[in-house]
Structure 1
Amino acid sequence: MDSQRPHEQAKWWAQTLGWEVEPSDEEMIRGLVAAGRAREEDTLVHDGVLVWKAGAALRDPEHPERPRLLFQLVPEGKTVKNRTHLDVRVGDEERQAVADALVERGATVLHHAEQGPFQWITMSDPEGNEFCLT
C-alpha cells in the first residue's frame, strides 16, 4: 500500500488487525550501510529502532506464512478512491464499537451501508485509504 508515513501506517494497521509489524534487522542495516551497499539516508529511526525508510510490513503472527501487508513510501498523497480495499470482519455485535475505537485512533467513518442481510461501515484509515468493517 502506498503511504506517506509507512511506519505509522504499518503500526496503525497492525493494531487494527491484531497483527505485528515485522521486526527490523538493525545489525543487517548497519552492516549494509558500513559496506557502502546502502546509504544512511535510506534509513531512519522509528520508535527507537533503525528501519528502512522505504517501508514497513506487517504480518499475522499466528500465520507468518500467509500474505503480509507492505506499506511503501511514496511522495504524493492519496488523491483518488482506492481500487482495492480491505474488508475487516468484526461481526454485527462488535461493528459499531470497533468503528468508534478506530475513529479514536484516527480513522474516519465514510458511510454505513447494507445489501440484503449484509451490513458494513465504510471507513478510511489515517491516510485516507478506504476499508470496510463487516
Structure 2
Amino acid sequence: MKRFFSLSNPLGIVITAATLILTVSPEARRGTKKLLVKGVGSALALGDQIKHLTTGARLQLSSLMEEAKHEKETMELPNMKDAMMEMTERGMEKSKETIHQAKATFGSMFSEPNDSHSMDSSPINVMNDHSLKQKMSEIENQLH
C-alpha cells in the first residue's frame, strides 16, 4: 500500500494529488460525483440494451426453431428404405437382362462348330475375329 502513495512512484503522485484535490475542493467533489453518476448510468443503460438485444435474439431464434420444426413435420420425405429397395431391384433386373443377353450372344460362339478342325490345323486368333468385336461393342452399348 505504501508503494501506491509513495512520491517516488508516478502513479502514487497522481493518486496523492487526486486525493488532496477531492479533499480540499468541494467543486472537484461535485464534478467527480456527476461524472461517476453519469458513468454508472451509462453502464446501466448499456446493460439494459444488451439485455433487450439478447432477449430479442432469443425470441427470434425460438420462432425460427418453431418454424423449422413445423416445416420438418409437414415435409413429406420419401421412405429411404423403399427407395433403396426399388433401386436395388431395378439394378438386379438390369444385371439379369444383361447376363441373359450375353448368354444368348456368346452361347453359340463357344460351342463346338459343325465343321470341326483337326488338331493339325493352325490355331485361330479369336481377338481378330470381327464378329467377336461386334458382339462386345453391342454388349458395351447395352450396358451404357
Query: Which category of TM-score, normalised to the shorter sequence, fits these structures?
Result: under 0.3
Greater fraction helix: 2
Greater fraction strand: 1
**Higher RCO (Cα < 8 Å, 6 or more apart):** 1
TM-score by length of 2: 0.19
